[in-house]
Structure 1
Amino acid sequence: MGVALEQFFIFVGLLACLAYLVKCVRFSKCIFLHFWKVLPRSFLKSMGQWAVITGAGDGIGKAYSFELARQGLNVVLISRTLKKLQAIAAEIECTTGSSVKIIQADFTKDNIYEHIREKLEGLEIGILVNNVGMLPNFLPSHFLDTPDEIQSLIHCNITSVVKAFVCTFSKALQAEYKRKGIIIQVLTPYAVSTPMTKYLNTNMVTKTADEFVKESLNYVMIGDETCGCLIHEILRSFLNLIPSWVLYSSTFQKKYMDYLKHNTNTI
């Protein structure tokens, strides 16, 4: 019995060491890709002549639109605000020379997909950046009468559930389609200064949308999920060491909300 128990603990220890070794290899790859670009500049363009970006009117979606156009791709911008799309399209065409198409669509509605399909018909699409950020339509209306702090926590919790679903679903798709040469990757960044985050003050951890997008494109081949930049990978590794009951405690949540308030620019 004693020998069997000893062998069991040895086996568990080896599994733990193997898990940490895999994490170290992944982290080393992130460090390498942060300083050295492995993918040739033509790689993204080789996937197809067009890139489609949803949520292209602001923030990360807008930054991807410009960066992919700089990489030589033509871009299709999808968002609900037509004036923003027209202004961004004109600027991209003027500064990069890439062709731009715009599709006005509100992803809170269900009857938009046939319209989008018709607009995309005939295009050689190699890249899709699915950047639509929205809360589910079933958010109960009585939450609107609650204090701002409680509303923020409710929105964060619901959004976390939606993100968890999208992450799991995307990984399942990648497992199914990887053999066909299709790359499906989930980006899970932390702080990025965008209109959605009310323009958080930038620092070593909080990136501008342009900074984040440029770095994230280096990690296209690193795996089915990535934070998109080295500093966020480091932050995730650190947060994974903290017990979940600490992260979800009322004290931690209050500190986090205070941090957001003090690091948000007033527009």
Structure 2
Amino acid sequence: MASSTTIDLKKTLIIPICTIGFLTFFTQIFKFLKWVYSMFLRPPKKLNKYGSWALVTGSTDGIGKCLSFELASKGLNLILIGRNPQKLQTTSNEIRAKFGKEKTKIKIIVIDFEKISGEEIEFKICKEIEGLDVGVLINNVGLSSERSRFFHEIGLKGMIDLVSVNVGSVNWVTKAVLPGMLKRKKGAIVNIGSGSSVIPSYPLFSVYAASKAYVAMFSRSLSIEYKQFGIDIQCQVPMLVATKMASIKKASFFIPSPEQFSKASIKWIVYDTICVPYWTHALEWCIMNMIPDSLVNRMLLRYFISVRKKVLRKENNLA
């Protein structure tokens, strides 16, 4: 009798267990196919529907410069913001040479986000973009720590500059551009964040990572606030890209060039609030999520301490 009851119980349990297993398997398959579609097959949004002008901060190097070229290729006029007037003019000339002077209008605004106040930033941008239908804003300008440092070693100026550029610029540039988007009831804002803000820790770059975590939460919250007004707000989270700021010269499988990242970035604009646009970055993120946080923390700490020692040895040899 007991044996018969056990068999009946097994038969009763096997159906829901198989059902759960079946649903779990196909859920993962669906997620994978959705990821493949999003990364490689999904068509990009038509950005000129938001307006004929795009504003890009940090537009003279790396990701910002390459994104400016990508936006111009989509038929958008450009407002380029940077601190170096010569570099801004060079970038402008290169874009016009590629896409034609008549096709792409370009306006230059010189701003050093380390040196002027938020109110000055807002006032200057508002004045310069008056009458322009700025439909796309790319908050790309960023500042990283000079080298791996423990928190107590960061000087006051270094800390203020990091926060002013990485946090302040996003606030004040958005504040300058947002009223026009609200008036027209349309707009797209893309804030370039960092993978350092979403992994378990980023030791020896604590202020930088924390400033980028601000950008992610700022984007997520503003997206909810302004979606109802026709404004799409997004934070893109790249891992390492071969740029001057990252001190990486050559691209590799997990480290794309700024050109490669920018092409992926354009395709993802306004599709998700938080996204990892480049496919190997997404793969890297998936692998990292499979590793226990404690192990990731130890690996990162060991790696950045080794980098720190190499830099210190180099500095001592030069001294």
Task: Place the TM-score, normalised by the shorter chain, in its bin.
Answer: 0.7 to 0.9
Rounded Cα–Cα distance in structure 2 between residues aligned with 1:50 and 1:204 = 34
- 1:219-254 per-residue CA deviation (whole Å, 9 max, x = no partner) reads 2243101111111111111111222222222x4433
Q: 1:36, CA displacement in angstroms?
A: 1.8
Superposed, 1:147-162 pairs within 5 Å as 156-162=205-211
**1:194–1:209 CA contact under 8 A, matched in 2:** yes
Residue 100 in structure 1 maps to residue 100 in structure 2: no
Match of residue 31 from structure 1: 36
Match of residue 211 from structure 1: 260
Rounded Cα–Cα distance in structure 1 between residues aligned with 2:204 and 2:112 = 20
How many residue pairs match? The answer is 233
Superposed, 1:36-47 pairs within 5 Å as 36-39=41-44, 43-47=46-50
Rounded Cα–Cα distance in structure 2 between residues aligned with 1:121 and 1:216 = 28
Q: 1:181, CA displacement in angstroms?
A: 2.0
Match of residue 52 from structure 2: 49
Rounded Cα–Cα distance in structure 1 between residues aligned with 2:243 and 2:36 = 25
Match of residue 124 from structure 1: 133
Q: 1:143, CA displacement in angstroms?
A: 3.1
Match of residue 254 from structure 1: 302
Rounded Cα–Cα distance in structure 2 between residues aligned with 1:187 and 1:81 = 25
Structure 2: which 5+ runs fail to align? 1-15, 156-201, 311-319
Match of residue 82 from structure 2: 79
Q: What amino acid is aligned across from residue 235 of structure 1 in structure 2?
A: E
Structure 1: which 5+ runs fail to align? 1-9, 145-152, 262-267
- 1:106-161 per-residue CA deviation (whole Å, 9 max, x = no partner) reads 1122132211110011111110000010369xx989536xxxxxxxx776211111
Which of 212, 229, 236 lines up with 2:285 in the alignment? 236
**Alpha-carbon spacing, 1:157–1:203, altered in 2? closer, same or farther (3 Å):** same
> Aligned with 1:218: secondary structure?
helix
Q: 1:24, CA displacement in angstroms?
A: 6.5
Instruction: Indicate the larger mover: 230-239 or 107-116.
Output: 107-116
TM value normalised by structure 2: 0.66
Match of residue 191 from structure 1: 240
**2:39–2:277 CA contact under 8 A, matched in 1:** no
